[in-house]
Amino acid sequence: MRARHDALAAAAKLALEIRPIAKRHPDAVCTMGSVKTFPGIVTAVVGRCEATLDQRDLDSAVLAAMYREAQEKSIQFAAEEGCTVEWSRIWNIAPVPFHPHLIELCEAAIRETSGRSIRMPSGPLHDAPKCREPAFPR
């Protein structure tokens, strides 16, 4: 058992650590979106693990700090589990605030349609339905 180098254990530690990293910043979000193990069979210790990490904040400096923290922690956890870690960027986009006048126009249209508007500092469209209340209550 001591000779095992479990890549999934290192990834699991990182998955648990990214939440505290995000919590240190009031508007930040971090999530491990996927984890894939190799060889991917129940009886084998995970020799390789690929994981995706999504980090969001409206401040580029905060994003850079969170990215560094996650990398540092991944190196620590890999060493603890006797394996190595490599990083590659799949996607990277700087946070760009929506134009204030356009936000006002959108809010006016939403209030006209549903009676009220909720602001949400997030880019992904999949978040929109989560904070929306029905426009026509039952």
Whether residue 26 is preceded by a cis peptide bond, meaning omega within 30 degrees of 0, is no
The C-alpha atoms of residue 49 and residue 62 are separated, in whole angstroms, by: 27
- 34-51 confidence digits (pLDDT tens): 999 999 999 999 999 999
State the pTM of this model.
0.77
Q: Is the CB of residue 83 less than 8 Å from the CB of residue 12?
A: no
Give 124 or 12, the one with higher predicted confidence: 12
Is pLDDT at 31 greater than 60 in this prediction?
A: yes
Q: Please, what are the domains in the chain? A: 7-80 (3.30.70.360), 100-131 (no CATH)
Burial class (CB in 10 A: 0-12, 13-18, 19+), 45: middle
pLDDT of res. 40 = 95
Residues 103-128 have pLDDT tens digits of: 899 999 999 999 998 887 655 545 54
Under a CB-based contact definition with an 8 Å cutoff, are residues 37 and 46 in contact?
yes
